[in-house]
Chains A and B, each alone.
Chain A
Amino acid sequence: MSKLVHALKDALVSAGLRDGMTISFHHHLRNGDQVLNQVLAQAAALGVRDLTVEASSLFDVHLPLLDHIRAGVVTGLNCNYMSGGIGRAISHGVLAKPVRFRSHGGRPDAIDSGRVVIDIAFVAAPAADPMGNANGVMGPGACGSLGYAMPDARHARKTVIVTDHLVPYPLIPASIPEDEVDYVVLVDSIGDPKGIVSGTTRITRDPVGLAIARYAAQVIEHSGLLQDGFSFQTGAGGASLAVTQYLKPIMKRLGVTGSFGLGGITGYLVEMLEEGYFTSLLDVQCFDLRAVQSIRDNPRHCEISASRYASPGVRSAAVNSLDAVVLGATEIDTQFNVNVHTDSNGLILGGSGGHSDAAAGARLTMIVAPLFRARLPIIVDRVLCTSTPGSTVDVLVTQKGVAVNPRRAQLRDRLRQGGLPVYEIEELKRAAQALTGVPRVVRPQGRVVAEVEYRDRSLLDTIRGVTGK
């Protein structure tokens, strides 16, 4: 038998692509991905219509998707995150049916449980063999972990491996195993390596960002969690990343050896693994070349599926063993609810990713954010969109000091005793507004263009469309 088909178009035909189907994509190739665009172009050429795209995340490289929406090829969209170019078009109403936003944990739960049925999963594979064993650590488009593609490949009615690096059978290691694969297609390129991983992810040099990161590391130090076995997750954003830089000397001084670093993995966490600050990394997505090399070469750097990373529906997920997580926010309100879906005008420019999953799982959830960005205060009375409920957020860290969720009175006392400047969140809000002035609150009034589904399957919020620019 052979699973090899000669062209992407043939794979679509063989897999039985028809009007109204749901097709899925993963985002490890990030802003370098060409597979989603290639598949949709072929689907359009075949005259297929009314597709639902189930993508773990969308980037501006996927802007051609908007033309397929306008043409009726794509009429439904589910994802965990979308970049600003796609988000703006959604906010302006390009898609009649509301986008369904999930989280990196909610999406695999929906797929594993059968609530979302994928007709055809397309796996962009940096390396594969003719039977469909695939991994992300070899080939010109190496991206590291393929964690987000795993639930799709396991549960889709048909799974298509798309690769530009075909190797003899059997490919080892196989992140996606052959028993889940129906077809394999060799294409010229699955994507542009420059957009797939940044050469290096760099820590912010902004003094405000560094001040926030220093306080965040001190919060961890005085939280009571920084003991042997400590586990940690941080985003790849400027200030989030800088926290690792300040955490390291603290762990050294206290002689603490951590257990695992989790999430999207950067070179900074790899460095901490190699220097013995953590004994392992659990990796659902690699953010830079150093992480890609490490997951390939270091057996303590372990690839995990999206389900194991963050799904609320599995027997246990890694986020539930997490001590501390550092996350960002475009807005946070005085009830500690966080918005990472829209900007201050209500335009979509993001999504949960793993934000709400890590916040729910971790013992200590920290939001790092400046008091204001470009005159816009980050602390508001009510967020434009609730992406992560305030009940799962423990501490806000700003350049002026920290605010602790009133539910965590003991933590607040610990941080005060540790010498941190602790304020009420209302005080930080007023401190910011003393500098910026009080903004007029803008709330979009259009029809619902997106729905935010929380990881417990409830409808957390809806996002309305924005008219004008």
Chain B
Amino acid sequence: MNIVSQAVAGTLESNDVLVQVGPSPGGIQLEVDSIVLNQFEDQIRQAVLDTARELGVQSARIALNDRGALECTIKARVETALRRAGEVSP
């Protein structure tokens, strides 16, 4: 999937995550801000990268503002944002 526009998903409520995505010149550019960064930074990054790979996204800018979302929530929010910003190549 190619990321062709800007899109967001999620909220800044506690236990949720706000995901903003947009096109990137190359590769996945990932920015993570989280209230549980000290405890879960590696798991959060891995969840985002796994989701992008499963969707076949090779280049995108992805920014997370995480309010303590569970992994299932992070994956769902990232997938939604990527689908909103992407087009499936013909």
Residues of chain A whose beta carbon lies under 8 Å from any beta carbon of chain B: 344-345, 373-376, 435-437, 439-442
Contact assessment for A437 and B38 in the assembled complex, using a CB-CB cutoff below 8 Å: no
Are A440 and B40 in contact, with the CB atoms below 8 A? yes
Residues B43 and A437 in contact, CB atoms below 8 Å apart:
yes
- Chain A residues with Cβ under 8 A from B35's Cβ? 374
**Which of the four size classes fits the interface of chain B?**
10 to 19
Are A376 and B70 in contact, with the CB atoms below 8 A?
Answer: no
A437 touches B71 (CB 8 A): yes
Chain A contacts of B67 at CB under 8 A?
Answer: 374
Q: Is B14 an interface residue (CB 8 A)?
A: yes
Chain A residue with the shortest CB-CB distance to B72: A435
Residues of B within 8 A of A (CB): 14-15, 35-36, 38-43, 67-71
Interface centre among A344, A373, A437, A439 (most CB of B within 10 A): A437
Q: List 23 A-B contacts (CB under 8 A).
A: A344-B39, A345-B38, A373-B14, A373-B68, A374-B14, A374-B35, A374-B36, A374-B67, A375-B36, A375-B39, A375-B68, A375-B69, A376-B36, A376-B39, A437-B40, A437-B71, A439-B39, A440-B38, A440-B39, A440-B41, A440-B42, A441-B39, A442-B38
The residues of B that contact A376 with a CB separation of less than 8 Å are 36, 39, 68
- Name the one of A345, A373, A375 contacting B40, with C-beta atoms under 8 angstroms: A375
Q: How far is the CB of A9 from chain B (nearest CB, A)?
A: 44
CB neighbours of B14 from chain A (8 A)? 373-374
**In the assembled complex, which residues on chain A have CB atoms less than 8 Å from the CB atom of B68?**
373-376
Nearest-Cβ distance from residue B72 to partner chain A, whole angstroms? 9
CB neighbours (8 Å) of B38 from chain A are 345, 440, 442
Interface centre among A374, A375, A437, A440, by most chain B C-beta atoms within 10 angstroms, is A375
Query: Closest Cβ of chain B: how far from A333's Cβ, in Å?
Result: 16
Give the residues in chain A near B71, CB-CB below 8 Å.
437
Which residues from chain B contact A435 at a C-beta distance below 8 Å?
70
> Shortest beta-carbon distance, A381 to chain B, in Å?
14
> Across the interface, which residues of A come within 8 angstroms of B40, CB to CB?
375, 436-437, 439-440
**Alpha-carbon gap, A435 to B43, bound state (A):** 13
The minimal Cβ–Cβ distance linking B70 to chain A, given in whole angstroms, is 6
Check B15 against A442 for contact (C-beta < 8 Å).
no
| Distance in angstroms between the alpha carbons of A439 and B40 in the assembled complex | 6
Report the Cα distance A344→B41, complex, angstroms: 15
Contacts of B42 in A (CB 8 A): 440
Inter-chain contact B39/A442, CB cutoff 8 Å: yes
Query: A49 to nearest B CB, angstroms?
Result: 37
Between B38, B42, B43, B70, the greatest number of chain A beta carbons within 10 A of the residue's beta carbon is seen for: B38
Name the residue on B nearest A442 (C-beta): B38
B43 CB contacts on chain A under 8 angstroms = 437
* B63 CB, min distance to chain A CBs, angstroms: 18
Q: CA of A439 to CA of B71 in the docked complex: distance in angstroms?
A: 12
Bound complex: CA A375 to CA B68 (Å)? 5
- Give Cα A112 to B43, complex, Å: 52
Excluding A376-B36, A437-B43, 20 further A-B contacts by CB distance (< 8 Å) are A344-B36, A345-B38, A374-B14, A374-B35, A374-B36, A374-B67, A375-B15, A375-B39, A376-B39, A376-B68, A436-B70, A437-B40, A439-B36, A439-B39, A439-B40, A440-B40, A440-B41, A440-B42, A441-B39, A442-B39
